[in-house]
């Protein structure tokens, strides 16, 4: 399904289903021998929606022969993606815990999807976690967690809103205080926004950030957004779609791309130009730090991304 300016989705549709894919990665990692992160809630979401293609992460060594025939290295690809998701999850976990350790008590998770940090991290007393995503995605998450008797470990405030709309107003109406330092995250979000919407998002984060605020972003390289890179990924998707169809599966989107192929500002540059102290680490370096490696002879096994952290100095004024 191609994207439209005001499209909406539930957890099994369009961009919403990508949150299930990430949950599948976290569930598989949690279930592995030496997990980097533990997310006991991820499998609950997968169980509710039933057996879908994203669950393949969890199968690892028991992949359907049709898929192995199509791509004999699919097992290695899945393992690389699991390592990617695990490293990414750990990066954002550590970001929030470190901000909390330094006294930040207000956190905002943009495009929270099935992220269960409010249910699984040890937040200090007095913390508040705001989660923003499309209404049906948040509804599914909270209903699933409640039906399993899970309770949040901190004050959790869901803010159902489209991030292309006036989300700052919705966030403030939910109790967010822009006078307090905030820890912001944008994980698995930017390619689903146009370049223009990405800039607006960053401007809004900056305008709501008191000195001492921090931000962590999964950013993507210019190469990731290039036409060649999009064409390669689409071609790979077509092949998987054909193989899935042979298995009687139609849960890989039929046509069109969910991502916006538009070159855009690199987040680390944007932050530096707006008064933030910012640094980034390439995804493969981050993975290597966690002893997770990507086979160098498999193209596009993991996204070409950069994990960025920024901090607004306590003493300086931000350029907005």
What residues make contact with ligand SAM under the rule CB under 6 A?
Answer: 15-16, 18-19, 22, 111-115, 133-134, 137, 162-164, 187-189, 192
Residue 38: CB atoms within 10 Å: 14
In the bound complex, what is the minimum distance in angstroms from residue 145's beta carbon to ligand SAM? 14
And the tokens for 2?
């191609």
Residue 314 CA, chain-centre distance (Å), reads 28
Closest CB to ligand SAM among residues 15, 67: 15
In the bound complex, what is the minimum distance in angstroms from residue 43's beta carbon to ligand SAM? 14
Say how far apart CA 296 and CA 312 lie, in whole Å: 36
In the bound complex, what is the minimum distance in angstroms from residue 196's beta carbon to ligand SAM? 13
Closest CB to ligand SAM among residues 140, 212: 140
Distances (CA, A) of 41 to 38, 116, 119, 149: 9, 7, 8, 11
Using an 8 Å Cβ cutoff, are 110 and 132 in contact?
yes
- Supply angle C-alpha 229, 231, 237, rounded to 5: 105
In the bound complex, what is the minimum distance in angstroms from residue 189's beta carbon to ligand SAM? 5
Using an 8 Å Cβ cutoff, are 185 and 130 in contact?
no
Residue 192 CA, chain-centre distance (Å), reads 11
Closest CB to ligand SAM among residues 163, 212: 163
Closest CB to ligand SAM among residues 133, 181: 133
In the bound complex, what is the minimum distance in angstroms from residue 66's beta carbon to ligand SAM? 26
In the bound complex, what is the minimum distance in angstroms from residue 116's beta carbon to ligand SAM? 9
Closest CB to ligand SAM among residues 18, 229: 18
Say how far apart CA 243 and CA 66 lie, in whole Å: 6
Closest CB to ligand SAM among residues 74, 159: 159
């Amino acid at each position: 399904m191609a994207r439209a300016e005001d499209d909406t989705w539930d957890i099994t549709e369009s961009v919403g289903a990508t949150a299930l894919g990430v949950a599948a990665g976290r569930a598989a990692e949690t279930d592995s021998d030496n997990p980097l992160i533990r997310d006991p809630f991820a499998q609950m979401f997968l169980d509710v929606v039933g057996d879908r293609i994203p669950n393949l992460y969890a199968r690892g060594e028991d992949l359907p022969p049709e898929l192995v025939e199509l791509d004999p290295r699919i097992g290695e690809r899945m393992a690389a993606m699991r390592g990617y998701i695990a490293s990414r999850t750990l990066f954002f976990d550590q970001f929030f815990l470190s901000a909390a350790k330094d006294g930040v008590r207000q956190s905002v998770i943009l495009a929270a999807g099935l992220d269960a940090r409010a249910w699984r991290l040890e937040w200090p007393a007095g913390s508040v976690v705001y989660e923003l995503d499309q209404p049906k995605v948040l509804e599914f998450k909270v209903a699933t967690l409640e039906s399993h008797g899970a309770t949040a470990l901190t004050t959790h405030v869901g803010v159902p809103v489209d991030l292309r709309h006036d989300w700052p107003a919705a966030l403030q109406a939910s109790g967010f205080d822009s006078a307090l330092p905030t820890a912001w995250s944008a994980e698995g979000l930017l390619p689903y926004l146009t370049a223009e919407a990405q800039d607006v998002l960053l401007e809004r984060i900056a305008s709501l950030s008191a000195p001492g605020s921090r931000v962590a972003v999964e950013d993507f390289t210019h190469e990731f957004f290039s036409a060649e890179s999009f064409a390669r990924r689409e071609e790979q998707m077509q092949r998987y779609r054909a193989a899935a169809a042979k298995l009687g599966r139609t849960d890989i989107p039929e046509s069109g791309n969910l991502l916006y192929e538009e070159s855009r500002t690199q987040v680390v540059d944007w932050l530096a130009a707006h008064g933030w102290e910012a640094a980034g680490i390439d995804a493969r370096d981050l993975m290597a730090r966690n002893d997770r490696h990507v086979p160098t002879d498999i193209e596009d096994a993991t996204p070409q991304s950069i994990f960025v952290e920024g901090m607004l100095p306590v003493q300086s004024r931000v350029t907005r």
